[in-house]
Amino acid sequence: MSELLELPWSEARDQVSPREYVEASLRAIEAGNGALNAFLHVHGEAVPGVLPIAVKDNIVTTDMPSTCGSRILRDFRSPFDATVVTRLRARGATIVGKTNMDEFAMGSSNEHSAFGPARNPWDTERVTGGSSGGSAAAVAARMVPAALGSETGGSVRQPAALCGVVGLKPTYGRVSRYGLVAFASGLDQIGIVTKTVRDCAEVLGVIAGHDPLDSTSSREPAGDYTAGLDSGVKGLRFGVVREALEQLEGEVRANFDAAVEVLRRGGAVIDEVSVPAIGYAIAIYYIVANAEASANLSRFDGIRYGHRSERARTLADVYSESRGEGFGPEVKRRIMLGTFALSSGYYDAYYGRAQRVRARLRHEMTEALRGVDALITPTTPEPAFRIGEKTSDPLSMYLSDIFTAPANLVGIPAIAVPSGFSTTGLPLSLQFMGRHFGEQSLFRAAGFYEGETGYWKRRPPFVAG
């Protein structure tokens, strides 16, 4: 493994030529991907750039397939690049590969990829988290210094937490979704995985900003997200969400309490805040997200692009056989749940009610954030679990998003930063959630915590090379 890839991008880029940097990344991928399955496609002839970066396989590129981790798009190549890819390339970045993911971003463990699960470099018998598990594993294993993922209910922060790296979900609309294959359009947002907070802030500075190709893209000006990173937390106020911690116990609770003390010793003020509706977040999320997914995935019909069944004899066969063969069980489950929630006679009872409670959650979180600079919770309720441990219990898997889904439902930014390790040596993580377009304050808080603890420097047992 090249020592170069141990360094944050903000340090390594000035030490070698772009060619040496990209070649080091490609060597690490070649050495480690067989064991981790973090990459689905690797661009071995990529033009060298100042930042070798990986992107999740639901972010389209012209020079590599974009499969979304699904058989239905096994050989699909996009005729255009996603806006984030265009912006990265314009700043000299090299897309070295496309990372593994739960099929169509539907999952919390990366076990629902049609091409096999990505494996956690802290313990290869455990999950990476999902759906951006390949991106998190690639950064944690020092294959790339940074990677893009996508968030619908925590799919960047949750795998970042389980793999011991930094994961950011920006404000909804802060980063263009043009070229991101939709799961739930009202929740989806492209996010960033890096080793350090500064690297994350620098990558956001490259990809953030209005995009006329995305109707949901905000015109709010993007700033210098690295400004104030070294300002500390003295005088900042953080809100501990009472309802989020009521059932939390054991080492995750102890780790969270220790993290709070680090912030308090740094001069921060810690308040307790109440967000009663946060307990409904998972129920809201899985109704709203699946309803939107059932509509978005109707475009995969075996006619315009993607897999078409050879068994089809009629138009109805083309739809049913192509989708039946192409989609995996988790995608089918969510399409069915979403279609049911939108069906005649059930729309108001499920989808309509979920949207009303979502509005209540948005109001309560907005009110809670008025008096503090950020809300803090653990990122996940437990460290990485074993591969296969929860596949027969979807509800237990869905609860992995209990701390992350609220930020997606409300559209606010949130960042996960390593906060220590379990008794079995697995990463634990602290989450900061901020006001709309308050990414700079989150970077300041997370940057202080990272500097005080230095957990990002600890290498996982499996490092590529």
Catalytic residues: 56, 131, 155
- Give the pairing type, strands 269-273 and 237-241: parallel
> What is the Cα–Cα distance from 288 to 281, expressed in whole angstroms?
10
Measure the N-to-C terminal CA separation of the chain; round to a whole number of Å.
4
Measuring CA to CA, how many Å separate 165 from each of 18, 120, 229, 303, 459?
A: 24, 12, 18, 40, 11
Compute the radius of gyration of the chain from its Cα atoms: 21
Cβ atoms of 118 and 36 within 8 Å: the answer is yes
Residue 122 is given by DSSP the state T
> What is the Cα–Cα distance from 388 to 309, expressed in whole angstroms?
30
Measuring CA to CA, how many Å separate 139 from each of 4, 36, 309, 353, 366?
A: 13, 12, 37, 39, 33
Return the structure tokens found at 48. 């060298």
> What is the Cα–Cα distance from 465 to 58, expressed in whole angstroms?
27
Residue 92 is given by DSSP the state T
Residues facing 11 on adjacent strands:
none
> What is the Cα–Cα distance from 429 to 147, expressed in whole angstroms?
18
